[in-house]
Structure formats: C-alpha cells, structure tokens
Amino acid sequence: MFFISWGSKTVVINLGLTGSYFCGICEHDRDFYRLLHYRVHHVWWIFRWATRKTYRDACDICGRGNEVDAREVEERLGKSPMPFLDRFGWAFGVILLAAFVTFATLDTPPRSRPTQSVSRG
C-alpha cells in the first residue's frame, strides 16, 4: 500500500520587539513585535514550498498591526528567517526525484531483441 500525505499550515515567527506604540484597537501604549507570517504546503512533509509571506508589526495584546515591506525587513536581517526546508524543500524534492529516475534508468539492463528463427524449406 502506498501512502501519500499532503497538507498545509500557517507559520508565525516572532522576530522581536520593535518598540512601544499607541494601539488604536486597545487604545493604550503597547509593545509591538515584528512577526513573519507564511503558509507552508507539503507533500510527505519533505517536499515543501512557502506562499503568502508577509511581515507585520503587531500589538502584543490584540495582535492587530500594520504590514511591513518584505524587502526592507530582509535587507536589515541579512537573510530570511524562514527555516531552510520551508524555503528550499521543493528543490530537495526535485533533486530526490531526479536521483531516483537516474538510478532507475541506470539500474535497468538493456533489452535485447528477440531473435526469430527463419525456416527455409
């Protein structure tokens, strides 16, 4: 029996405190944190790809806030805070599939043509 598992999940990574600002929803000064939100889709938990990546400055209490430009945040950070497998899991899947196809074709012995006997009479 062959089992295929697929699915998706939303991931939130806290990148740290950005400061204390007035929150219009809470109507008080609150701490705001920079958050990275993205959705990861997967097949067999190995072949992954991320979609809907957004950075937000969110209130610590109500979670509301403003979206921040992704290029600006990633320039400051120097690299993406997403885990390696979430960013490049799709490439791992392509490499694994290519290796499987390569080894399957190399392992297959060449086929010989069947010989036909010709009778002369």
- 120 is a domain residue: no
Which residues lie closer than 8 Å to 77 by C-beta, 6 or more apart? 15
- 25 is a domain residue: yes
- 115 is a domain residue: no
- 112 is a domain residue: no
- State the Cα–Cα distance between residues 96 and 59, nearest whole angstrom: 42
Number of structural domains (the chain) is 1
Retrieve residue 88's tokens.
Answer: 């490049």
- 92 is a domain residue: yes
- 80 is a domain residue: yes
What's the average model confidence in pLDDT over 58-66?
93
CA neighbor of 63 nearest in space, from 90, 101, 24, 93: 24
What's residue 44's pLDDT?
78
- 119 is a domain residue: no
Query: For the whole model, what pTM was predicted?
Result: 0.72
Ordered strands of the 28-43 beta sheet: 6-23, 28-43, 47-59, 65-68
What's the average model confidence in pLDDT over 87-109?
82
What's the average model confidence in pLDDT over 56-81?
92
- State the Cα–Cα distance between residues 95 and 84, nearest whole angstrom: 15
What's the average model confidence in pLDDT over 88-110?
81
What's residue 8's pLDDT?
93
What's the average model confidence in pLDDT over 98-109?
80
What's residue 101's pLDDT?
87
- 121 is a domain residue: no
52 pLDDT tier (thresholds 50, 70, 90): very high
Average pLDDT, the chain: 86
What's the average model confidence in pLDDT over 36-49?
88
Q: Which domain holds residue 34?
A: 6-107
